[in-house]
Amino acid sequence: MDSTPVSASLAAALAAASFLLPPLLDGVERKIRAAIHSRIGPPLTQTWFDILKLWSKEAKLPRGAELAGLTVLIGLSIALALAATLSTFAAFGLVGVGPVVAVMVMVFALHSISMATGCASSNPFATIGSFRRVFLNVVNEVGLALSVALALVSRWFIPSWKGWALLGISTGMMLVACFCASGRLPYDIHEAEPELASGTVIELSGPLLAAELYSHLIERWVLAALPFYVSLAPFLPSAWARCLALVLGSSGLWTLFAVTSATLGRSRADLALRSLGAIYTASTIAWVGVWLA
Amino acid sequence: MRSVDLRKALERIKRSIWVFHLNTGSCNGCDIEILDALTPYFDVERFGIKLVGSPRHADVALLTGPITLRALPKVVRALEAMPRPRLVLAIGACAVGGGIWFDSYTLLGGFPRLLRVLKSAGIEIDGVVYVPGCPARPEAIIYGVCVLLGVVKPKVSRRAVEAPIQLEVTQAGEVRSVPMHREGGADTRT
């Protein structure tokens, strides 16, 4: 553990980056999607403009949906705490089983509170929309938890070839799980809502919608940084290297996720059980096969 | 509920315009043009314009059609659901003044008459721009959004004509539009 002022400064800088970068990375994602469509697309700062605009608008909440508004604020608090915690752990070299489990608990808490937002709304369409999110989370959380657990176990076998192979398989599985958990195509959440005319955020407006959008973007950043934190950070000796790996790695992975989602079509949520189940089962069998070899 | 600084919010909307498509009984001609304006060919996202599926998320309502009396309660509710500042772009001849249906008994006949209904219901509209045409062209719709937000200045002056029609409430409580037949033709005021 590097308990130096340098680590503390790096933790603060990384936390600030994790608060400021996600909307800009979303701007990059929108630019990439526009480039694939042969369009100019919005400016890189467009998502920041959207958030600031929503923040200055009126907040209209229907009667009986006060609890949904509260869950949004709790979700934003958890998202900010999660990004700050991940930054601190990475800067101070806290990459053992305990810190990773703590981060995963916060990720699952964030997912649960976003599911609760739709269920707590007085609008039945918001409840219907939250079913899609609940189903995808139930299917994908198993793969996410399993991949992180396998990556932690794989570290014990390093530096043998078996350890690196096991870590590679579990990291690949984690990439798929993080991609699906980020709510992008083919199992998107927010983008699907305008077409389905239902979704967890259908009744949110103004600052509450800004809070929901911002916490979702921070969640995406955490999910893009998670594979680097779990699989790469333990092998980097200095705080500088770990922080740099997290910032550059998460930005690169966000871009890769953006290209992947822009080239994929939307899939039915019920098909996620079959396709994701097949990927996670095959990966686990491969991991066990290498372990037994 | 916190108070809203409308001027500040309107300044910020100029860079981030979320639109909601509101069909009030249109023939779908203008609606197809709206969809055309939202395609990658016109790329309105470069101006920060984005289509949203809920009036709660919207800044601008893209209103088409002459507002049928059947649709009127839903239209009022949708506009009321929009957070302030709420803006309206009345698209097409029907939305501008009822078009060829201006004196039909089944219609309100254009957005100016809806404005009166909204005012009586205490619903404030913070800005309206009329985009004429049958149907309105996609370029005109994009231009109308820019005029609405003050990004560009309008090229033409506004001329309003009052159609000879009045609203009345029946004993059953329904709103009806009643043509006003006068000797010497229509009563037009500019």
pLDDT tens profile A76-95:
999 999 999 999 999 998 88
Average pLDDT over residues A257-275: 82
C-beta of residue A132 within 8 angstroms of C-beta of residue A246: no
In this complex, which of A39, A46, A197 lies closest to B40 when CB atoms are compared? A39
Q: Which residue type, as a one-letter code, is found at position A253?
A: L
Looking at the structure of chain B, the number of domains it has is 1
Residue A262: what pLDDT? 86
Over the stretch B49-83, which tens digit does the pLDDT of each residue have? 999 888 999 999 999 999 999 999 999 999 999 99
Average pLDDT of the segment spanning A127-156? 86
> Is B181 strand, coil or helix?
coil
Is residue B158 in some structural domain?
Answer: no
For residue B129, being part of any structural domain is answered with yes
pLDDT at B87: 92
CA-wise closest residue to B127 among B44, B9, B43? B9
Strands B60-64 and B87-91, by their bridges, are parallel
Please give the average per-residue pLDDT across A268-285, as a whole number.
Answer: 87
Q: Which residue has the tokens 């290297």?
A: A241
Give a yes or no: residue B162 inside a domain: no
User: Model confidence at A196, in pLDDT bands (50, 70, 90)?
Assistant: low
Name beta bridge partners: B21.
B62
Q: What pLDDT does residue B159 have?
A: 72
Q: In chain B, whose CA is at the least distance from the CA of A126?
A: B54
Q: Residues of A with CB below 8 A from B8's CB?
A: 56
CATH number, domain containing residue B93: 3.40.50.12280
Per DSSP, A221 falls in state H
Pair B109, B97: CB distance under 8 Å: yes
Q: Which of B42, B47, B54 to mutate to test the interface with A (most CBs of A within 10 A)?
A: B54
B86 is in which domain, residue-wise? Answer: 6-151
Chain A residues touching residue B48 (CB < 8 angstroms): 42-43, 46, 49-50
Taking the domains of chain A in order of start, what are their residue ranges?
5-292
Residues in chain B, pLDDT under 50: 182-190
Give chain B's mean pLDDT. Answer: 85
The per-residue pLDDT for B163 is: 65
Q: Is residue B170 part of a domain?
A: no
C-alpha span between B130 and B64 (Å, rounded): 11
End-to-end CA distance of chain A: 34
Provide the shortest C-alpha distance from residue A116 to chain B (in Å): 19
State the average pLDDT for chain A. Answer: 87
- The first and second tokens of residue A74, run together, are 């709790």
Which stretches does DSSP call E strand in A191-261? Answer: none
DSSP conformational letter for B68:
B
Binding-face residues of A in 159-198 toward B, CB within 8 A: 193-197
Q: Looking at beta carbons, which residues of chain A come within 8 Å of B16?
A: 46, 49-50, 52-53
Q: Which of B2, B46, B51 sits opposite A42 (nearest CB)?
A: B46
**pLDDT over 90 (residue A202):** no
Query: Long-range CB contacts (< 8 A, 24+ apart) of B139-145?
Result: B139/B42, B141/B33, B141/B34, B141/B37, B141/B62, B141/B89, B141/B91, B142/B37, B142/B42, B142/B44, B142/B47, B142/B49, B144/B89, B144/B91, B145/B17, B145/B19, B145/B44, B145/B47, B145/B49, B145/B60, B145/B89
Number of Cβ within a 10 Å radius of residue A54? 27
Interval A52-66: pLDDT, tens: 999 999 888 877 778
Task: Return the pLDDT at A3.
Answer: 64
Query: Is residue A96 scored above 80 in pLDDT?
Result: yes
Phi, psi for A70 (deg, rounded to 5): -65, -40
- Asked whether residue B119 is domain-assigned, the answer is yes
Name which of A19, A56, A72 is nearest A203 in CA terms: A72
Q: Does A56 touch chain B (CB under 8 A)?
A: yes
Chain B: give the shortest CA distance to residue A283, in Å: 38
* Per-residue pLDDT, A236: 87
- Residue from A33, A57, A196, A202 whose CB has the most chain B CBs within 10 Å, to mutate: A57
In a domain, B17, yes or no: yes
Average confidence (pLDDT) over A175-190? 81
Q: What are phi and psi of A179, to 5 degrees?
A: -60, -45
Length of chain B equals 190
Q: Indicate if the pLDDT at residue A214 is higher than 50.
A: yes
In a domain, B22, yes or no: yes
Identify whether A186 is preceded by a cis peptide bond (ω within 30 of 0). yes
